[in-house]
A and B are shown apart, each in its own frame.
Chain A
Amino acid sequence: MTIESSGTTHPSDSDEGVPALQAVGLAKRFGRFTALESIDLTVRSGTLHAIIGPNGAGKTTLFNVLTGQLAPSKGTVLVHGESVHHVPVHRRLGVGLARCFQVTNLFPELTVLENVRLAVQGRHSRHAFDCWSTVGRNRGPIDQARQVLERVGLQRVAQRKTSELSHGQQRLLEVAMSLAPDPKILLLDEPTSGMGIDDVPVMERLLTQLTGDYTIIMIEHNMAMTMRVANRIAVLVAGRVLIDGEPDEIRADEGVQRAYLGEGLSA
């Protein structure tokens, strides 16, 4: 699958120094329950940074704070050095943050192509106020949508309704939806959740291709794949970052094994 250059250059334009995304002293409390406690996380541009941890470690809460779904109790979120935690959800794309959902959350009665076209056009939603010209003449976004579908391998089912897709295909569509607005940073929430054995390699190949073009932050339970795909891994336990390092360091660290896996990690 060749990737035509889609015109905008990505991480290479921001110099090595400024990290793509940085969380500084992030904390989140729901009443007396502390979901996140002073999280510091730095994600380099063009890398795939996985976040792993046992259930209830606060992974999804962290995600919701990063994407603006939840406002942090303390601390800030910096995207390319600018603080974004006050930016409302629908303008998060403006700063280059695109998210895919853990629970499939698409437009069931609309076609696959329409789902992605909407995502592409979401970047400049002003155009969507055009009440007169029909969608068919919306050339730009439709072409871009077709390209994205080709990239994730869904171009054959473009005209089918989303509700008629298999679960694996819907997960691919979730990723396509976050790719559509050509973001700088991709936040993927368990892309392989609920996928069959044969779909996981498709997703793995896609992730390896995307790394380098995009900065990816991923929550994932499939340890084997994460180890192969991720550049760095942050282990989250009970709302705190236990360790943040290369996959080999994480595999070797007994603390991680004790807190997270209980048995050997040498999968």
Chain B
Amino acid sequence: MLEATSKDVQAPAGATGSDAERPARMRWAIVAAVVSVAALALLSPSYSLASTVLIYAIAVLGCNLLLGYTGLLPFGQGVFFGVGAYAAGLSFVHLEFQVPAGLAIAMLVGMVVAAAVGSLCILQRGVSFVMLTFAFAMMFGHLVYVFSDITGGENGLRGFPGMSFGFFGSRLMALNTSQAMLGVIAVCFVAVYILLTRVVRSRFGATLMAIRENEDRAAAIGYNTTLFKLMAFVLSGLVTGLAGGLYAMHLGTVPDTALQLDISVTILIMTILGGTGSLYGSFLGAVVYLLLTDYLSQVWDRWQILLAIALIAIVLFLRGGLWGAIEIARSEIGHRAGRRRRRGAGQ
């Protein structure tokens, strides 16, 4: 049998860089996140597009935690996204919750569903795991219509009150302009980015990477790999649920498409386009995918042919995705600079 292992996924390097760089890397990560969000807000054609990019970027971070750092190909991230959106939506509509409480509910429900679905999916490995997440994604997609009196079926969940930011009824800020929405979403993105950067650099993250590299050996040296994979799923569910909650808040409704398979496929494509080599790759994936889609869909009706070509090209030539290209560029430039310095010294 031709041996195809998940090792080919462009794997981030081990966590134990030399000790001296540790704090510096953290600060660089925070600065990178804040600067990128600011640049996106300025350059993006519209605030609402910038908000959409950041919402999907959060979901892609959650997906990368599983794909890049744990070696699991999750086909069901749309489930946690949709469930988070409906949870937040229902709390806005029926319980008059304000933004922070609604998002908290979205995260909580995202975690609970991730624990349930995850605990079943990680019983299988390899392609069977992928097929299981695919099955759950399709199943949840249909449940939207089976419980249409709760979810509003194909009309979507409607009747959102005006979104406002505040705690226990106090209205600190009305979220009725796209700038205010972008502000809340940007803060959430930076917070999630920092949280996940800490996590992937922690002992937990290092163990996830060990499981990605060689799950049998990780078990042999004493790690209950099933439990770690479940923890990774729950964390990914929390982050993706938050993205779903922000999606509901930003849209002012929850469309039935929020829980369909397409969302899972889109999140996956962005994760791989961006590159699973680092968390920043996930942000890149969301930005390039959505900006290009936004532009190309106005230029040519059949713009998805370009998307198809891009996907195939990435798999053949650029498995590291955009982040892989940057890393190769960096090592290439470093390589050339090195040669120039040596040649210079030679004369």
Contacts and interface: CB of A to CB of B under 8 A. Distances in A.
The short answer to whether A and B are in direct contact, CB under 8 Å, is yes
Contacts of A138: 203
A135 B210 contact: no
A136 B22 contact: yes
Contact of B14 (A89, A105, A111, A125): A111
A135 B217 contact: no
Interface in A140-195: 142, 159, 161, 177, 180-181
A136 B17 CA distance: 8
Contacts of A180: 221
Nearest to A98: B221
A110 to B, nearest CB: 4
A179 B33 CA distance: 41
Interface string B206-229: 110110011011111111110010
Contact of B217 (A67, A94, A107, A161): A107
A119 to B, nearest CB: 5
Contacts of A107: 14, 209-210, 213-214, 217
Interface residues of A, number: 44
A88 B60 CA distance: 35
A30 interface: no
A91 B225 CA distance: 12
Contact of B220 (A99, A114, A117, A142): A99
Contacts of B19: 136
Interface stretch (A35-43, A126-134, A250-258): A126-134
A113 interface: yes
Contact of B16 (A99, A111, A177): A111
Contact of B202 (A109, A122, A123, A135): A135
Given A110-B210, A129-B231, A90 B224 contact: yes
Contacts of B235: 131
Contacts, number: 125
Contacts of B206: 114, 117-118, 128, 135
Given A118-B210, A129-B231, A159-B18, A181 B222 contact: yes
A93 interface: yes
B22 A128 contact: no
A51 B26 CA distance: 50
Interface size bucket, B side? 35 or more
Nearest to A117: B16
Given A90-B224, A135-B16, A181-B222, A110 B209 contact: yes
A210 interface: no
A181 B221 contact: yes
A109 B217 CA distance: 14
Contact of A135 (B13, B201, B222, B231): B201
A227 interface: no
B203 A127 contact: yes
Interface in B296-347: none
B94 interface: no
A206 B200 CA distance: 35
A15 to B, nearest CB: 27
Given A106-B214, A109-B7, A89 B219 contact: yes
B213 A135 contact: no
A183 B209 CA distance: 24
Interface string A39-81: 0000000000000000000000000000100000000000000
Given A90-B224, A177-B221, A108 B7 contact: yes
Contacts of A106: 214, 217
A92 B222 CA distance: 7
A118 B205 CA distance: 11
A128 B204 contact: yes
Interface of B: 7, 11, 13-19, 22, 26, 198-199, 201-207, 209-210, 213-214, 216-225, 228, 231, 235
Given A128-B203, A134-B26, A138-B203, 9 more contacts: A110-B14, A117-B206, A118-B206, A119-B221, A125-B207, A128-B204, A128-B228, A129-B231, A130-B204
A-B pairs with lowest CB-CB distance, top 9 = A122-B222, A122-B221, A110-B14, A107-B213, A136-B22, A114-B14, A93-B222, A128-B207, A135-B15
26 contacts: A67-B220, A90-B220, A98-B221, A105-B214, A107-B14, A107-B209, A107-B213, A108-B7, A111-B13, A114-B15, A114-B16, A114-B206, A118-B223, A125-B207, A128-B204, A129-B231, A130-B202, A133-B203, A134-B22, A135-B15, A135-B16, A136-B19, A159-B18, A180-B221, A181-B221, A181-B222
